[in-house]
Structure 1
Amino acid sequence: MSSFWSRSSDDPADFLFPRRSAPTSPTGPPAAQSSFPFSFDSSSSDDDFPSGPRRPKFIQSSKTSFLLGEKLGEGAFAVVREGIDQNTLRLVAIKVLDMRRIKKMRGGAAAVVREVRVQKRLKRHPNLIELIDVIRPKHSSKTYIVLELSNGCTVAQLADRNNGTLPHTQVANYAYQVLRGLHYMHGKGVVHRDIKPANMMLNVNGTLKISDFGVAEFLDEYNQNDNVSRTSGSPAFQAPEIARGDADYSGMKVDVWALGISIFLLITGRIPFQGDNLVQLFENIGRGTFEMPPELPHDIQHVLSQMLTVDWRQRASVGQLLRHPWIVRGSLIHSDSQMEQLGWIKIPAVRANILDAVRRLYVDDADMVQTSALTEDAHPQDAASDAASAPQREEPLSMARAFSTISCCIC
């Protein structure tokens, strides 16, 4: 039986950092037929887009092409852009990694490989952001990680629209969805290690998806325990065992603690452990003493006390929390009118700016067709001769048909 760690032909390590191999034949399977009635410019560079109108840029995978749009966010070594699948018109998020810079960072290359391996193991789940594709173009220093795109905001952004807090029932619903995602993830031998409201993506229909697997870790499949020893994640959400520098601890219980901190933050608007600096913060977390707001309902106080237990051996598990009365009530499906009565904060829809790029492409395509028609009128004999020798071109899709298709893919 082959191990998950063996270097198979589709191993991300081989793909992201390919070994030297013999040249391949230029022949291959025909490119997938596009749903777009136009062609892309594939010769553009990997540099960031300039501002203003620009020639469309796409990246080619083995099955399809993705049109790149505007920035959604950026970090030290990566930029996240909007994207759209040329074949299915599905909107996606594309993480653009500068591998030259990442390779210079200690452990950077290994972290990218681990992130891809983690998401390849986690197949489709309603509460996890899906990995769609990984693309490493030839003669390029960039790697493109294509991910599912949520059409709402993060839970942190939603809370910011309401002075940093959310209604108790809404928090319970989001906690239930996170626990569902963690239950599946832990069952696959993966711990997230950076659970926080900023890594909880929302669709406008209320579905929550855990995102950002950059510091996720595999559990030892040959160890009955779920012990881990590497530390990472956001300081304010770190568990006491990490703050104290314990040699090993339960990775699953670290995710439970971080979710408990997230619930406390979303309900009260503050972090339970404070510190003037990182050392003081970790000292306070390590002691694990905090003030439980007395005005909180008893069931919320109880679930928080179960999740924020200092001794990770006594801390509640994901399975136990999914059976907690407060979490069970959070799993109930509410109608729009009920959510309005409960004071739920409405999830704002994020405008897909890449549709503007698609619109420009259709306008350019229409202009090209019009120019061709004028040429035929001016030189009918030449145009007839050219038409007889040229391959037949598919008529452009109407804008209404194209955007009705795209709108179906947004959710």
Structure 2
Amino acid sequence: MDKYAIVAQVGEGAYGVVYHVKCRTTDQHYALKCHENNKDGSMMDSTVRELSCLSALRGHPNIVETLDCFLHDGKISTLMPYLPLTLFGVIYQGRNHSGLLPITFISRFSLEIANTLSYMHGLNMIHRDLTPANVLLTAETLTVKVADMGLSRHAAKSISSGLVTESYRAPELFDTEEEEEEEEEKEEACTAQYTLAIDMWSLGVLIVDAMEATMTFHSKNFPTYKIIKETLSRNDHDGDSMWNPLRRIALELLQYDPKHRLTARMLLDDSKWQRISDAITDVDIDRVKCYAGC
């Protein structure tokens, strides 16, 4: 750690703290994640999962790269490229909300995330916390680098419903005993299996959030599960030809039944969606950077 000087703390969570650091000898800038330990000083399961997942996924063009790993003050620390721009920043921070993100950019970032998920899902690995804050973007080209693998793991049939960030949580992961009044719906939801499809739901929410410049399934006064039920019954943008491709993809990802959702591979094979992504221009990229306050 003596090799690096801390510039600023840029993030903190239950599993660790992320710093912006600078190499004292080269002046290169990096992100340094210092993973938390358990109370007894042992390594947390999340750290083991994240390091093993990053090792298995090393070299993928749309996954954040681990450059070094070492012990600092008895804690595992991982060095990564410093990528301060996130999808969260593009959608919300410093953005002129009277403007819309180019559909070409929305298509491109969704396909790059799908490329990541297709690779992970091929290894039977689930990200489990795909949010705008966990999707990093390179400064020049806004290329996706998916990060934060602390909750990633191999697919299982059951999971605690609270692990995926609520606004991006698939409906089958909610504890509907408190959300639903109809007994049949409660029974069906409680027996739903936890599958790779939860990541695809999260991707669908990212697309809609980018399209609407709002957190679609978040409200301080209304449960997320009920927002999902209400939103899926709407027909927004029906008459707007520009939004029809977005709406089609979003609805195919936001299927209530996980068995009916697009898979990552299916999204990558969607030729119409790919053509929209291929049409992105430098003007579109510069426009997105302006929305993000770059």
TM-score normalised over the length of structure 2? 0.79
Find the residue that maps to 1:131 and give its secondary structure: coil
Instruction: Tell whether the 8 Å contact from 1:67 to 1:85 is kept in structure 2 after alignment.
Output: yes
Paired positions, count = 272
Amino acid at match of 1:172: S
Q: In the alignment, is residue 70 of structure 1 matched against residue 7 of structure 2?
A: yes
Structure 1 residues 240 and 272, CA gap change in structure 2 (3 angstroms): same
Q: Comparing 264-273 with 246-255, which one deviates more in the overlay?
A: 246-255
Q: Does 1:293 find its partner at 2:236? A: yes
Q: Which of residues 214, 218, 228 in structure 2 aligns to 1:270?
A: 214
Q: Is 1:174 the counterpart of 2:106 in the alignment?
A: no
Give the Å deviation of 1:337: 4.4
Deviation at 1:336, TM superposition (A): 2.1
2:170 corresponds to which of 233, 236, 239: 239
Q: CA deviation at 1:327?
A: 2.7
Match in the other structure for 2:181: none
1:221-370 to structure 2, matched below 5 A, reads: 227-231=157-161, 232-243=163-174, 244=176, 246-247=190-191, 249-277=193-221, 280-285=223-228, 289-294=232-237, 295=240, 297-332=243-278, 334-337=280-283, 339=285, 343-346=287-290
Q: What are the within-5 Å matches in structure 2 for residues 100-115 of structure 1?
A: 102-103=38-39, 109-115=44-50
Q: Deviation string for 1:95-117 (max 9, x for gaps)?
A: 12342xx4369x98222222222
Contact 2:10 2:20 in 1 (8 A): no
State the match for 1:154 in structure 2. Answer: 86
- Tell me the CA shift for residue 76 of structure 1: 4.6
Q: Shift in Å at residue 132 of structure 1?
A: 2.3
Shift of 1:68: 3.0
Question: What is the CA deviation profile of residues 25-51 of structure 1, one whole-angstrom value per residue up to 9, with x for unaligned ones?
Answer: xxxxxxxxxxxxxxxxxxxxxxxxxxx
AA partner of residue 253 (structure 1): A
- Say if 2:23 is the partner of 1:92: no
Would the aligned equivalents of 1:156 and 1:197 in 2 still touch at CA under 8 Å? yes
Alignment CA distance shift 1:276-1:346 (3 Å): closer
Secondary structure of the equivalent of 1:293? coil
What is the deviation of 1:128? 0.5
Matching of residue 219 in structure 1 with residue 151 in structure 2: no
SS in 2 for 1:313: helix
Indicate if the aligned counterparts of 1:303 and 1:324 stay in contact, CA closer than 8 A: no
Tell me the alpha carbon deviations over residues 14-71 of structure 1, each in whole angstroms, 9 at most, x when there is no partner: xxxxxxxxxxxxxxxxxxxxxxxxxxxxxxxxxxxxxxxxxxxx34xxxxxx413222
Does the residue aligned with 1:331 lie in a helix, a strand or coil? helix
Are 1:135 and 2:88 matched, yes or no? no
Structure 1's 274 and 202: CA in aligned 2 closer, same or farther, altered over 3 A?
closer
Larger Rg: 1
Give the root-mean-square deviation of aligned CA atoms. Answer: 3.1
Q: 2 CA distance for matches of 1:167 and 1:337?
A: 10
**1:174/1:330 contact within 8 Å kept:** no
Residue 248 to residue 88, structure 1, CA distance change in 2 (3 Å): farther
Pair 1:298–1:80, CA change in 2 (3 A): same
1:79 CA displacement: 2.3
- Structure 1: unaligned runs, 5 residues or longer: 1-57, 60-65, 221-226, 351-411
Which residue identity does 1:119 align to in structure 2? L
Contact 1:299 1:325 in 2 (8 A): no
Classify the secondary structure of the residue corresponding to 1:68: strand
Q: What is the alpha-carbon distance in structure 2 between the residues aligned to residue 159 and residue 212 of structure 1?
A: 19
Distance change in 2, residues 1:96/1:293 (3 Å):
same
For 1:311, the aligned partner's letter is D
Q: Distance in 2 between matches of 1:87 and 1:71?
A: 18
CA contact (8 A) 1:197 1:262 kept: yes
CA distance in 1, matches of 2:29, 2:208: 33
